[in-house]
Amino acid sequence: MLDDEDSPIHPLFAGAPSSTEFKKLRKRIVRETRDAIEKYGMIERGAKWLVCLSGGKDSYTLLAVLHELKWRGLLPVELLACNLDQGQPGFPATVLPEFLEKMGVPHRIEYQDTYSIVMDKVPAGRTYCALCSRLRRGNLYRIAREEGCSAVVLGHHRDDILETFMMNLFHGGRLATMPPKLVNEEGDLFLYRPLSFVAEADCEKFSRAMNYPIIPCDLCGSQDGLQRQQVKQILDGWEKNAPGRRQVMFRALMNARPSHLCDPGIFDFAGLELKSGDETDFSQNLPDLGPTN
């Protein structure tokens, strides 16, 4: 169904480049998004999703792909786009409403001045991300409940997940990252990341080719020396020296072996037992000494 280039498309894809390169890019992103949705069981037929739109390249990609899947009958859920205007000075408040109206996308624009709270509470020289994220997430959960949504859908991609894993490893002392599917602490909302299999570079190529009106983040995105930026530089270096390294690392996150880690909370090391003498085949443990004369 996705290979039918002559079939109708959602207005979000109207004016898309006709090059073979872009068609391959679009199909790859749509396929990877659909794979993540199916693999992690995100679809509840008849559900309503709150699709968070920041105005960045990732959220535009998310919005377009989800509407493409819905347009083609592959995503049987209701989609409501939502932008949270956090009161940042100079934020172009008319860009997203005008874009969404033009595209015929159901949406809600919410104004909450979290910017002033972040600037007041975070000491000079400290990063804003943690508090900003908590305030934003709380408002999005509230909006989802008010709109009757069962899920809040975010535009985090594969590289975001890898960077978070590395940050937790280096700075948090734990093996953890952003999961593709999560239930909030209150237990009443899902949190989905359908772009979990999609590379950041593909999101950038896609949104640039579609000429979406990108809005940069002037709060946390303007700070130097962020831990995430440092981790990104490390991953960029590895990827340059060994292309495909990011994808190998992501596959590792999907192939965890608790018995080969060190956490007794997820594997019963104390309960390990040897086989009885009658059952043990010691020949399997002998080294290969080569042919004998």
Q: What is the pLDDT of residues 34-54, one digit of tens each?
A: 999 999 999 988 899 999 999
Both tokens of 188, joined, read: 């009443």
Q: Any binding-site annotation on 149?
A: no
Q: What confidence tier does 3 reach under pLDDT thresholds 50, 70, 90?
A: very low
The pLDDT confidence band at residue 86, using thresholds 50, 70 and 90, is confident
Q: So what's the pLDDT on residue 97?
A: 95
Q: How many domains does the chain have?
A: 1
- Rounded CA-CA distance 241/74 in Å is 38
Q: What is the DSSP letter of 260?
A: G
Using 50, 70 and 90 to split pLDDT, how confident is the model at 278?
Answer: low
Is there a binding annotation on residue 129?
yes
Q: What is the mean pLDDT of residues 203-218?
A: 90
pLDDT for 218 equals 58
By residue range, what is the domain housing residue 119? Answer: 18-260
H or E element that contains 66: helix 57-71
Please report, for the domain that includes residue 193, its CATH number: 3.40.50.620
Tell me the C-alpha distance between 187 and 139, whole Å: 16
Closest by CA to 83, choosing from 58, 115, 107, is 107
Question: Does 279 reside within a domain?
Answer: no
H/E run at residue 39: helix 20-39
- Is 220 annotated among the ligand-binding residues? yes
Q: Are strands 48-52 and 78-85 parallel, antiparallel or unpaired?
A: parallel
